[in-house]
Amino acid sequence: MFVDLVQLICTDLDGTLLDSRGDLSPGSLEAVEAARRSGLAVVCVTGRPVRDALPFTRRYGLTGPLVCSNGAVVVDAETGSALLNRGFDPAECSSVVSALQGAIPGLVMGVESNSGLYLEKEFADLVPYGWLHEPVRAARAAIHPDDPVVKLLAVHAGLTAEALERAVVDLAGDRLEVTRSTGRFVELSTRGVDKGQALRWLAGHLSVPVARTAAVGDMPNDLPMLRAAGLAAAVANAHPQVREAARLVLPSNDEDGVAALIHRSLRRAGTP
């Protein structure tokens, strides 16, 4: 049930590599450093934007590629230079927003672009996470040809995230990748962009066979990555759908689950 030789581990950040405080524990940091010394690639694949994830990865010395916005953007963590950017076509993005808000009265949306996060006022009221953002009267006003949109956010006061996800898939599933990383809202990417696509891209970029990759996550937006990997793993605190999709269930994020996967991979490779 275990890949003989894992050469690349793709891990989600929040709820997976990070503990409940949103930090990297000493045990996890030690494991990441051991992987770096041995040549085992550990890559963060997150829904967070670059501006949020990059300072964190640099603080902990996580070099190499960094995948953000559910696979839409890949940067070099050391230099910050873009390796891949798969944002929405501006006209298509505007059309999607108009279609969804026309079909789902009360739908509140946000736009994540390369330059920042733009949220309709009601979004911050419904999802009070305190993200740094610019309030906008309408999400469409934040869509500009010279500032690619890499992700859309949607929330509804009367619908759970699960119900909203189903509604959006029914309306525009052929135009979007629809997922969620929390129980509060849904995340929309352009068609063909998800964490599974990102894992396959990383494997090619790093010259690693996909069969020798592992992926670990905790929420539904991690499912495409788990399905693409040679080994699918979930932390014990993961969403039921993620645990069901995993071949290996690790300790929780507060028990250094990703570190356990790293150490197990190093032992299989004969690295002390």
pLDDT, the chain, mean:
95
Confidence of residue 190 (pLDDT cuts 50, 70, 90): very high
More confident residue, 269 or 192: 192
The answer as to whether 45 is a domain residue is yes
Q: Are residues 42 and 23 in the same domain?
A: yes
The percentage of residues in the chain with a pLDDT greater than 70, rounded to a whole number, is 98
Q: Which of 22-31, 125-134, 223-232 has the lowest mean pLDDT?
A: 125-134
Confidence of residue 2 (pLDDT cuts 50, 70, 90): low
Q: Are residues 222 and 141 in the same domain?
A: no
Question: Is 272 a residue whose pLDDT tops 70?
Answer: no
Q: Are residues 56 and 14 in the same domain?
A: yes
Q: What is the pLDDT of residues 68-110, one digit of tens each?
A: 999 999 999 999 999 999 999 999 999 999 999 999 999 999 9
Instruction: Give the CATH number for residue 169.
Output: 3.30.1240.10
Q: Are residues 113 and 48 in the same domain?
A: no
The answer as to whether 2 is a domain residue is no
Q: What is the pLDDT of residues 146-158, one digit of tens each?
A: 999 999 999 999 9
Query: Which positions ≥6 away from 95 have C-beta within 8 Å?
Result: none
Confidence of residue 1 (pLDDT cuts 50, 70, 90): very low
For residues 170-196, average pLDDT: 94
Instruction: Give the CATH number for residue 61.
Output: 3.40.50.1000
Domain end residue (candidates: 190, 222, 240): 190
The answer as to whether 3 is a domain residue is no
Confidence (pLDDT) at 225: 98
Confidence (pLDDT) at 239: 97
Distance of CA 130 to the CA centre of its chain: 19
Q: Are residues 180 and 198 in the same domain?
A: no
Q: How many domains does the chain have?
A: 2
Q: Are residues 76 and 207 in the same domain?
A: yes
Confidence (pLDDT) at 153: 98
Domain hosting residue 107, numbered range: 90-190
Q: Indicate the length of the chain as a whole number.
A: 272
Q: Are residues 186 and 95 in the same domain?
A: yes
The answer as to whether 217 is a domain residue is yes
For residues 120-125, average pLDDT: 94
Q: Are residues 207 and 183 in the same domain?
A: no
Q: Are residues 262 and 183 in the same domain?
A: no
Q: What is the pLDDT of residues 34-76, one digit of tens each?
A: 999 999 999 999 999 999 999 989 998 888 999 999 999 999 9
The answer as to whether 223 is a domain residue is yes
CA-to-CA distance for 229 and 178, rounded, in angstroms? 20
Confidence (pLDDT) at 183: 87
Confidence (pLDDT) at 63: 84
Domain end residue (candidates: 161, 190, 219): 190
Domain end residue (candidates: 133, 156, 190): 190
Confidence (pLDDT) at 248: 97
The answer as to whether 142 is a domain residue is yes
Q: Are residues 228 and 176 in the same domain?
A: no
